[in-house]
């Protein structure tokens, strides 16, 4: 006798699961709307469980604050780091520095699929001809794969970064997962104060005029008065890689 679950039942189950996550996210967002970043991270651990919760970090210009706050709650919370194959050497060195400094004990570096790179970006110029697809195979797909075993994740987006981030909630539903934004309410001055009071080292490229750092070909310095993310995909009509606009499966 076949024990396969009919497709329509599987979809119905997925729909119910997603609806429950949406409801839980809304409840947590209301409860944590004015909570501190540390309180939000602690609530995430309680809601999901440490082993089912991931901090996703680029180890970029503003990453140390979130990683420090998470480490203060529990340094064993898994940290997922996307090595796209196009990162600055300074970013990789900064990752190693912060792992040691903060005592992070479970940092998982993930990579794009080699067959996808060979098939779609063998000449390493996809970033120029089709940046959205480049981001997909180097960031969006690897992250979806990495998060497949987690029920929730934490990221470092802030409302002051503007654009699509200006109205992010503290907690939201991301497909079948909870997504926590502990720094959503933080201001730029508060973030600078965190670095000072926690004695956190800046990313090595900050001194060279980089205010937001991603992949090397698609990151440039910002000019005085520009938005902090103005140097990302400059003049390409693109502001996000897709991680935060594509629901993970």
Domains of the chain: residue spans and CATH: 10-115+147-204 (3.40.50.620)
- CB contact at 8 A, 150 and 106: no
Distance CA 120, CA 123 (A): 9
Say what the pLDDT of residue 247 is: 61
Q: 163 to each of 16, 108, 168, 228, how far by Cα in Å?
A: 31, 29, 10, 11
Distance CA 140, CA 164 (A): 17
CA dihedral sign, ordered 193, 196, 200, 206:
positive
**Phi and psi (nearest 5°) for 228?**
-60, -30
- Indicate the pTM of the whole model: 0.87
Residues forming the active site: 241
- CB contact at 8 A, 110 and 85: no
- Contacts of residue 169, defined as CB under 8 A and 6 or more positions apart, other chains included, come to 25, 29, 181, 184
pLDDT in tens, the chain (249 residues): 445 545 544 444 455 567 889 999 999 999 999 999 999 999 999 999 999 999 999 999 989 999 999 999 999 999 999 999 999 999 999 999 999 999 999 999 999 999 999 999 999 999 999 999 999 999 999 999 999 999 999 999 988 877 778 889 999 999 889 999 999 999 889 988 999 999 999 999 999 999 999 999 999 999 888 888 889 999 888 888 877 765 665
Say what the pLDDT of residue 15 is: 54
To which residue do tokens 């140390």 refer?
Answer: 64
- CB contact at 8 A, 228 and 208: no
Say what the pLDDT of residue 225 is: 86
Say what the pLDDT of residue 238 is: 87
């Amino acid at each position: 006798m076949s024990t396969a679950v009919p497709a329509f039942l599987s979809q119905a189950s997925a729909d119910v699961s997603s609806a429950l996550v949406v409801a839980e996210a809304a409840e947590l967002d209301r409860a944590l709307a004015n909570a501190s970043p540390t309180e939000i991270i602690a609530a995430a651990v309680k809601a999901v469980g440490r082993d089912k919760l991931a901090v996703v970090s680029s180890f970029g210009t503003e990453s140390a604050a979130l990683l420090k706050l998470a480490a203060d709650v529990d340094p064993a919370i898994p940290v997922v780091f996307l090595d796209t194959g196009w990162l600055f050497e300074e970013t990789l060195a900064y990752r190693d520095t912060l792992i040691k400094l903060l005592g992070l004990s479970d940092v998982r570096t993930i990579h794009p699929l080699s067959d996808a790179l060979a098939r779609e970006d063998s000449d390493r110029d996809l970033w120029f001809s089709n940046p959205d697809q480049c981001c997909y195979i180097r960031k969006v797909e690897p992250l979806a794969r990495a998060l497949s075993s987690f029920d929730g994740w934490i990221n470092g987006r802030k409302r002051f970064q503007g654009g699509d981030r200006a109205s992010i909630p503290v907690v939201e539903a991301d497909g079948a997962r909870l997504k926590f934004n502990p720094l959503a309410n933080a201001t730029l001055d508060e973030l600078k104060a965190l670095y000072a009071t926690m004695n956190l080292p800046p990313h090595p490229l900050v001194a060279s005029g980089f205010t937001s750092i991603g992949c090397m070909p698609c990151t440039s310095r910002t000019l005085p008065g520009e938005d902090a993310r103005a140097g990302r995909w400059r003049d390409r009509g693109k502001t996000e890689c897709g991680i935060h606009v594509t629901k993970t499966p």
